[in-house]
Amino acid sequence: MQTNDLPSRRRTMLTALLPAVFLGMGIPDLLDTIALHRSQSEVDARVIDNRTMFKRFGVSHELKYVFQPALRRDTIGRQGAFNDNMWSSLPEAEWGKAVEKGFVSVRYDPSKPGNNAPASALPSILDSSVPIFLGLLFSWGIVVVEVRRRRLSRTAPAIG
């Protein structure tokens, strides 16, 4: 194998942006998920909207809610990177109870109340780890290509 059989150094460096994006998205999301799982702060949130979504791989029962975190006057919902009141998916039985009562139990991070989710449907730590895993996998691939490039360039015969 020759070094010109490998992706160009420029292409390899551009590809290095991909793991940076995955890690940049994954690490904060994982930290938020861990904080939410560790939190003991729960409150009854008022259901403000609900829907049933028929998707390719099944049915999703979703609702929107608002609550007033401790020591705050305003109400907030579930917040994401680009949305201030996201839909939350619940198991059908829990969704039905919440819609009927008009309230759902929500766990939130007191230091960042926008980081919240229904207590019966907290985000999975495994799901939050996927972008980190992909970022590390792509990083490893880039390192392998660069190590191979250096080894091949050292063993290449001198021309001239």
pLDDT at site 64: 95
pLDDT at site 140: 85
Pairwise CA distance, residues 55 & 10, whole Å? 41
Pairwise CA distance, residues 72 & 58, whole Å? 38
Token duo for residue 106: 């929500």
Residue 5 carries which DSSP code? Answer: G
pLDDT at site 127: 83
Q: Are 32 and 115 in contact (CB under 8 A)?
A: yes
Pairwise CA distance, residues 108 & 119, whole Å? 9
Q: Are 130 and 23 in contact (CB under 8 A)?
A: no
Q: Are 106 and 44 in contact (CB under 8 A)?
A: yes
pLDDT at site 80: 75
pLDDT at site 17: 81
The verdict on pTM exceeding 0.85 is no
Pairwise CA distance, residues 108 & 65, whole Å? 13
pLDDT tens per residue, the chain (160 residues)?
555 666 676 777 777 788 888 888 888 889 999 999 999 999 999 999 999 999 888 999 999 999 998 777 888 888 877 777 889 999 999 999 999 999 999 999 999 999 999 999 998 888 888 888 888 888 888 788 778 877 877 776 655 5
Q: Where does 6-62 have alpha helices with state H?
A: 9-15, 17-38
pLDDT at site 101: 97
